Amino acid sequence: MKKPRYNAPLSNIKILDFSTLLPGPMATLFFSEAGAQVIKIEHPEKGDHLRHYNPKWETDSLSFAMLNKGKKSLKLDLKQVSKRKLLNPLILEADIIVEQFRPGVMKKFNLDFKTISKKRPDIIYCSITGFGQTGPNARIAGHDLNYIGNTGLLALSMGKNSSPVIPPVLIADIAGGSYPAILNILLALRKRDQTGEGSYIDISISECLFPLMFWAIGQGAVGEHWPKNGDSLFTGGSPRYQLYRTQDNKFLAAAPLEQKFWEKFCDLIKLENSLRDDSLDPQKTILRITEIVAKKPAKHWKRLCREFDCCCSIVVNLKDAMKDPHFRRRGVFDREIKNSKEETLPALPLPIVKSLRSSDADPKAPELGEHNKDFLF
């Protein structure tokens, strides 16, 4: 007997996405790639704020194209009652709603969970905000830098006081917003499969960051000491987890945490025996390794790191990383996005295995209001 064609795990799921910028759109991009139909509800004139960010790729932002490929777009003025009513048929069909307004905004529009669940009792409704729906900070505006600053994450490793370093990744929006939303929505779908009940999901970006600091929380909780900027194992306080400048101004990323790797690393750089017990004077060991590594170019250390296999590598830039034969062979950048001129660029390589992706996902991001005629009557 011939097996039925398998489309994708979420091919029967419909999502109304009221979110903008990064956290919500990245979450719904995952669902779109897994087969769900994602319908963006956008401001009738400006659309998603991300459409206006640089760099531009044709008329819209490249970032918008990467985060919204395969989705549908409706432009709708939510402040007008008559326009909101046009959403009623879609709400009755929706499985999931994702929104990212400040607490209380969706209630003003009569689009809050309590109101919608009366029409659709099994709805899964996810609200993503910086500080959650309740508490003293619930209505405070913020961005990624504020959230990692407010939770102690930024203070763990922000460079020298004279020249603090801005993290290169929007870690709060993704690790504190997008990923928790994805996880909880999938759990809510499983719960609905079992009970038939809907769920309300309150994602607080800031509080979802604390699990990332498990080691620091544990260190402080047992009374050892609360980690400070750059003074701990994972923040630059140890020679075993450190960046060392090479002779040609590149960097060796050394992470020989385990003793067996540490011993290999010490042999690799021919570190004096008196400094190999790094618990005695970590800073002295760091300074000596810094001197040793600075005497040879990156090519020299790269060869030895391969030979000794001790969790050490040369730092490369993003352009070179995307050309790495390893990633190319694994097809990391094989999927593409397209614009209206049929020009292509690599799509965002989401961590979804090939067998769970939709095979017919649209590579284009929608024009603002492109699908009004298809969904609004």
pLDDT at 97 (0 to 100): 98
Could you please state the CATH topology (level 3) that the domain comprising 14-205+333-375 is classified under: Rossmann fold (3.40.50)
- The CATH superfamily of 230-245+251-314 is formyl-coa transferase, domain 3 (3.30.1540.10)
Q: What region does 230 belong to: left with phi over 0, alpha with psi -120 to 50, or beta?
A: left
pLDDT at 196 (0 to 100): 97
Residues recognised as catalytic: 173
Cis peptide before 55 (omega within 30 of 0): yes
pLDDT at 153 (0 to 100): 96
pTM reported for the whole predicted model: 0.94
The rounded distance, in Å, linking the Cα atoms of 37 and 72 is 8
The rounded distance, in Å, linking the Cα atoms of 236 and 63 is 32
Domain boundaries, the chain: 14-205+333-375, 230-245+251-314
- The token pair that represents 228 in the structure block: 């400070």
Low-confidence ranges of the chain (pLDDT < 70): 1-6, 377
The secondary structure of 60-93 as a DSSP string is: EEHHHHHHHTT-EEEE--TTSHHHHGGGHHHHHH
> In this structure, are strands 72-75 and 96-99 parallel, antiparallel, or unpaired?
unpaired
Q: Confirm if 220 and 155 have CB atoms less than 8 A apart.
A: no
Identity of the amino acid at 52: H
The rounded distance, in Å, linking the Cα atoms of 254 and 298 is 13
> In this structure, are strands 124-129 and 96-99 parallel, antiparallel, or unpaired?
parallel
